[in-house]
Amino acid sequence: MDKITAVKGIKDILPSETPRWQKVETTARAIFERFGFHEIRVPIMEKTALFQRSIGEATDIVEKEMYTFRDRDEELLTLRPEATACVIRAYVEHNLASAEPVTKLFTIGPMFRRERPQKGRYRQFHQIDVEVFGDDTPASDAEVIFMLMHFLDVAGVENLSLEINSLGCKDCRPGFSRAVVAYLGQFQDGLCPDCQRRLTTNPLRVFDCKVEACGRIISDAPRILDHLCPECLDHFDRVKGFLDDLNLEYAVNSNMVRGLDYYTKTAFEVKSGKLGAQNSLAGGGRYDGLVALLGGPDVAGVGFGIGMERLLACLPDTEENVGKTDIFVAALGTRALKFAFKLTGLLRRSGFTAATDYSGKSLKSQMKRADKMQSAFTLIIGDSEMDSGRAVLRNMKTKNQQDLLLESLPEALINILKSEVIL
């Protein structure tokens, strides 16, 4: 029969890879806790309107990348393409603002975008997502950026570049948009068909276009930083000041607009030279007004998302410890198997990693298996050992063997393992 394979652009994370994922996730949890963040777990499926309203109707994500379907009762649902909207929905729905005026949340999990798969770009990918609600100060932007850079540093990612920009607010951005439309209007014929359409639907998206001709035109376009209102300009200057205070290096990239419509004021991206074409490792920014747009209180928001696959691709290929075994019980014969079954259970209850083989294979093949599992010790027990009341314990590293009495076996083993194996 034909085998059924995974869906295009959607990958398994294999047992040999999971230790690296777990390590990064553990680091994230430990560091975020220091900054006062709490974990929230939100569903992977939401009502489609949530993303249409937050990310923006005229963005690539909403226009062509969402996995949207009609449920059996005709409701339109979408597999989340990002987490910010989901976290806000939960924050509003459960009135989390009432418990703590400044709410700091993070979530880790899969996101779905129907992009063209390539190295570093998948249709199911994972993000570490961080959000702060209720703090509109520039210090809060800088703190979030600092936490991101500190986390990436501790996780072991090197050679990173941080780019920042300000995208203005509802007062100053429309003026900038008009200036961009006026400028691009002169070169309309040179723009790709998508950008020609964007001129009327969402002009700032032209800054994100990967077509070379559009890139050339955009390089001389008006700069948002020349159009900021005094409040946004002051906010941006103070964010930069705080980043300087923290000795964080950054470059101002006035062409960075981010692919989602909800950003106001500060936007940032972290890139890595190690990543090739898909070089954006993390991105985020401020989104004051979005919580209110989604039916919540008028509180400020700032956050970021890190791509897990891309983060892991930046790390050196070190071998993580893939579940080593403390003791393998090699049992031969029916009575010995029964004994081994009970013994491994007891050892596991006592906190050791114990393995055995119920198939009754030869001693040779069981010893091979113990070797493969990198077992520290192997206990050999057959029906004849059951008769003689003794079993053989072999130290797999030194090859030393010793006889142990069956009647006091569990206690003796636990003592030996405790002195040899670090729990």
H/E segment holding residue 126 = strand 124-133
Q: Is 283 in the site for ligand HAM (CB under 6 A)?
A: yes
Nearer residue to ligand HAM within complex by CB, 203 or 301: 301
The answer to whether 355 and 366 have CB atoms below 8 angstroms apart is no
Exposure string over 325-354, b if 16+ CB within 10 A, otherwise e: bbbbbbbbbeebbebbeebbeebeeeebbb
Q: Does 309 bind ligand HAM (CB under 6 A)?
A: yes
Number of residues binding to ligand HAM, judged by CB under 6 A: 25
Work out how close the CB of 365 gets to ligand HAM at its nearest, in angstroms, rounded to a whole number: 42
Please tell me whether residue 208 binds ligand HAM under the rule CB under 6 A: no
Site for ligand HAM contains 17 (CB under 6 A): no
User: Min. distance of Cβ 309 from ligand HAM in angstroms?
Assistant: 5
Cβ at position 131, least distance to ligand HAM in Å? 5
| DSSP per-residue codes, 260-320 | STT-EEEEEEEEEGGGTTS-EEEEEEE-TTHHHHTTS-S--EEEEEEEHHHHHHHS--PPP
Which helix (H) or strand (E) covers residue 24, if one does? helix 18-34
Q: Does 357 bind ligand HAM (CB under 6 A)?
A: no
Of 126 and 240, which CB lies nearer to ligand HAM in the complex structure? 126
- Scanning 79-87, 88-96, 147-155, 328-336 for contacts with ligand HAM by CB under 6 A, the matching segment is 79-87
> Measured from the CB of residue 288, what is the shortest distance to ligand HAM in angstroms?
12
- Give 191 or 281: the residue with its C-beta nearer to ligand HAM: 281
280 near ligand HAM (CB under 6 A): yes
User: Rounded to whole angstroms, how far apart are CA atoms 312 and 346?
Assistant: 37
Among positions 147, 167, 239, 281, the unique one binding ligand HAM when judged by CB under 6 A: 281
Among 32, 106, 125, 236, the residue binding ligand HAM under the rule CB under 6 A is 125
For residue 304, state whether it binds ligand HAM (rule: CB under 6 A): yes
Using CB under 6 A as the binding rule, whether residue 20 contacts ligand HAM is answered as no
CA angle 178, 183, 187 (to 5 degrees): 135
Span interacting with ligand HAM, options 92-100, 216-224, 277-285, 400-408, rule CB under 6 A? 277-285
Find residue 391's DSSP bridge partners: 404
Burial of 84 (0-12, 13-18, 19+ CB in 10 A): buried
For residue 379, give the nearest of 402, 352, 349 by alpha carbon.
Answer: 402
Among 54, 103, 127, 356, binds ligand HAM (CB under 6 A): 127
Q: How many C-beta neighbours within 10 Å does residue 227 have? A: 20
Q: Does 122 bind ligand HAM (CB under 6 A)?
A: yes
Q: How far apart are CA 106 and CA 120, in angstroms?
A: 23
Quote the longest CA-to-CA distance of the chain.
96
Residues that bind ligand HAM (CB under 6 A): 82-84, 113, 115, 121-122, 125, 127, 129, 131, 259-260, 280-285, 303-305, 307, 309-310
